[in-house]
Amino acid sequence: MRVLGTGLEGVVIVEPQVHGDERGFFQESWKASSYGAHGLPTAFKQANVSRSVKGVLRGLHYQYRQPQGKLVSVMEGRIFDVAVDIRPGSPWFGQWTGVELSADNHRQMYIPEGFAHGFMVLSETALFHYHCTTEYAAEFDAAIAWNDPDIGIKWPIEPTSVSDKDRKAPALREVPSERLPAVSA
């Protein structure tokens, strides 16, 4: 497995080793000892799956208390996945990185605690999987505007579907510091 930096401290792209032949392929999607050797989490508290259609944009989501680290991958289709540093005091505060994840490239992205996360579906449908370091806590759930001009994410296509929650999310500069993750940079 290869682990590639993204320019944002802690956000990495994982390229697992894939063994394939005419029958199909096999890969380890997560193994504590291998991921731990690269400084990635060795325990997760929750795993989630979502299916979305082309043009759906989900995000930018985070929990301001009990922040979640996420190891994300695509089981079917392809998406553009984004992480935004929202850690107060971080030298990368407000900066983003994005990568295409697909069932074909087998890539994963790890987004550490203290980052907002979002993705856009590029294929007709996508089946998205993510492991979380902490459990979902609805009382601390929050979002930042996916189109915040100060962040300036360059989404590859125009979204065709955005939830009310995400459409009404504030810009990062409008979020009070007590509603941002208390994670040291």
Q: Which residues are catalytic?
A: 61, 130
18, 29, 113 from 21: Cα distances, Å = 10, 18, 37
Closest CA to 79 of 40, 51, 46, 60: 51
Place of tokens 């993750």: 181
Exposure string for 65-95, b = 16+ CB within 10 A, e = fewer: ebbbbbbbbbeebbbbbbbbbbbeebebebb
